[in-house]
């Protein structure tokens, strides 16, 4: 017994000594990605862009030539079509599609080959760029894995209580943890957690500034809205193809899939929230001589917060909805378990891991809902 106690004691020491390092690495990795890798990449892009801009006359000439040639080709094709078309009622059965040789030319030469070329020449650079993210993801997973379960439970329950301030939700969270633990899904759930946390941090870090940009300029608003629509409606497998080519089957591929799908709500609702701030209040801040940033941080964002929170909440929900698809491209966790359950036609396993995801979603939703409500109560109705 003594030996056992000593062993556990040692484990706790290792835990205590390792946790700060892991946390530090995680924050550092994420920070490195956002504040170093990203600016450096943008800088490199700018460096490439400027000499390219210098070549604009040449590019324009080449573009004109290509356009002229394609226009000529198009006219010729149309002419040929009308000449070779057999003008009969039978020909109206099917809409005339592109002939297969032209389709091949377009798909291969227009899309696949250029992307392959990009992946071949810049693939390593892209991997390098994403490396800090990958490391921070691993560290976060290690951190959660490493925690003794009572500590993990306590942390989660404390967090839920801090956010919701309601015993009912804490009990719900405890129930969810118990459910996950008793079916032996804790490890998988912790992997899902780490994926969720990172993707949400990324969504918020990029989504809120983008939403602010959109609210500040109608032109940006008009330009970004269709992109958001596409991000939300385009089947995720489509953008998973290039992600797979670039990153292979890996957790990072899953992370990117989740971020692309889950970011639009927080962008939209940040934009909407700022645009919905009452005009009189905005006018008052103008009338007292506020600068844009004073107005943004003193008036617009505080008053838009309920909407921003609703956006973050939706983002979390959508991120959780993506776990299975993320699992398809290599993100470990509950999603992978659902996939394997489906592969082996194991209803029980599928139900257990599926319910685990649903419970996590419900706990987060309830606590954030209460958080938003509390904030509004504080601001709008009073104590």
Partner 1 sequence: MSGNIKVSIKNLYKIFGNNPQDALQHVLDGLGKPELLAQHNHVLGLNNINIDIPEKRVQVIMGLSGSGKSTLIRHLNRLIDPTAGVVEVDGEDVLKMDDKQMRSLRQKKMSMVFQKFALMPHRTVADNAAYGLRLQGVRAGEAKERAQKWIDRVGLTGFEKSYPSQLSGGMQQRVGLARALATDADILLMDEAFSALDPLIRTDMQDVLLELQKELNKTIIFITHDLDEALRIGDDIAILRDGGLIQQGDPQDIVLRPVDDYVSDFIMDINRGRVLKVRSIMDASGKGGAVEIDHNLALEDAMQRMKDTPANPATVTRDGKPVGALDMRTLIDAIERPAPETASGTVYR
List contacts with partner 1 (CB under 8 A). Answer: 278, 280-281, 283-291, 294, 298-299, 302-303, 379-382
Cβ distance to partner 1 smaller for residue 87 or 279:
279
Judge contact between 355 and 175, C-beta under 8 A.
no
Cβ distance to partner 1 smaller for residue 219 or 381:
381
**3-class DSSP state for residue 332?**
coil
Cβ distance to partner 1 smaller for residue 217 or 294:
294
CA 146, CA 228: separation in Å to the nearest integer?
A: 38
Q: How far is the CB of 9 from partner 1 (least distance, A)?
A: 49
Judge contact between 178 and 184, C-beta under 8 A.
no
- Note the Cα 313 to chain centre separation in Å: 13
Kindly state the DSSP code that residue 98 receives in the 8-state scheme.
Answer: P
CA 135, CA 127: separation in Å to the nearest integer?
A: 12
Q: How far is the CB of 110 from partner 1 (least distance, A)?
A: 41
Cβ distance to partner 1 smaller for residue 156 or 304:
304
CA 22, CA 197: separation in Å to the nearest integer?
A: 15
Q: How far is the CB of 100 from partner 1 (least distance, A)?
A: 51
Residue with tokens 């109705």: 381
Closest to 194 measured CA to CA, from 14, 16, 30: 30
Q: How far is the CB of 165 from partner 1 (least distance, A)?
A: 19
Cβ distance to partner 1 smaller for residue 82 or 293:
293
Cβ distance to partner 1 smaller for residue 168 or 278:
278
Q: How far is the CB of 285 from partner 1 (least distance, A)?
A: 8
**Interior/surface letters 235-259, b for 16+ CB within 10 angstroms, e for the rest:** ebeebbeebbebbeebbbbbbbbbb
**3-class DSSP state for residue 148?**
coil
CA 207, CA 269: separation in Å to the nearest integer?
A: 10
Cβ distance to partner 1 smaller for residue 124 or 294:
294
Cβ distance to partner 1 smaller for residue 94 or 280:
280
Helical ranges in 85-112 per DSSP H: 100-104
Task: Show the tokens assigned to 157.
Answer: 């329950």
Cβ distance to partner 1 smaller for residue 76 or 379:
379
Q: How far is the CB of 106 from partner 1 (least distance, A)?
A: 43
Q: How far is the CB of 281 from partner 1 (least distance, A)?
A: 5
Q: How far is the CB of 169 from partner 1 (least distance, A)?
A: 25
CA 361, CA 321: separation in Å to the nearest integer?
A: 9
Per the rule left: phi > 0, alpha: psi between -120 and 50, beta: everything else, 333 is left
For the chain, the maximum distance between any two Cα atoms, rounded to a whole number of angstroms, is 95
Q: How far is the CB of 284 from partner 1 (least distance, A)?
A: 4
């Amino acid at each position: 017994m003594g030996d056992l106690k000593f062993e556990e004691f040692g484990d706790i020491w290792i835990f205590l000594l390792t946790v700060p390092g892991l946390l530090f690495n995680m924050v550092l990795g994420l920070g490195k990605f956002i504040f170093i890798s990203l600016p450096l990449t943008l800088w490199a892009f700018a460096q490439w862009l400027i000499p390219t801009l210098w070549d604009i006359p040449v590019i324009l000439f080449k573009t004109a030539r290509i356009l002229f040639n394609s226009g000529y080709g198009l006219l010729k094709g149309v002419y040929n079509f009308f000449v070779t078309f057999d003008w009969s009622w039978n020909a109206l059965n099917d809409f005339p599609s592109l002939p297969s040789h032209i389709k091949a030319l377009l798909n291969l030469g227009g899309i696949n080959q250029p992307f392959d070329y990009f992946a071949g020449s810049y693939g390593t650079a892209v991997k390098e760029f994403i490396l800090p993210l990958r490391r921070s993801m691993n560290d976060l997973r290690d951190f959660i894995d490493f925690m003794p379960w009572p500590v993990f439970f306590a942390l989660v329950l404390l967090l839920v209580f801090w956010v919701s301030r309601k015993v009912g939700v804490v009990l719900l969270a405890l129930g969810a943890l118990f459910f996950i633990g008793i079916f032996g899904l804790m490890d998988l759930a912790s992997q899902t957690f780490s994926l969720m946390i990172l993707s949400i941090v990324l969504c918020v870090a990029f989504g809120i500034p983008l939403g602010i940009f959109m609210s500040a300029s109608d032109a940006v608003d008009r330009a970004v809205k269709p992109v958001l629509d596409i991000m939300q409606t385009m089947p995720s497998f489509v953008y998973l193809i290039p992600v797979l080519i670039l990153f292979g089957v890996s957790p990072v591929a899953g992370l990117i899939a989740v971020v692309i799908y889950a970011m639009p709500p927080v962008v939209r609702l940040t934009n909407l929230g700022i645009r919905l701030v009452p005009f009189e209040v905005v006018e008052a801040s103008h009338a007292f001589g506020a600068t844009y940033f004073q107005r943004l941080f003193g008036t617009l964002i505080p008053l838009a917060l309920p909407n921003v929170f609703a956006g973050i909440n939706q983002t979390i929900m959508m991120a959780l909805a993506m776990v299975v698809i993320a699992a398809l491209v290599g993100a470990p966790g509950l999603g992978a378990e659902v996939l394997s359950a489906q592969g082996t036609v194991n209803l029980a396993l599928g139900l257990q891991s599926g319910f685990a995801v649903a419970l996590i979603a419900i706990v987060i939703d309830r606590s954030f809902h209460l958080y938003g409500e509390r904030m509004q109560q504080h601001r709008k109705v009073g104590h």
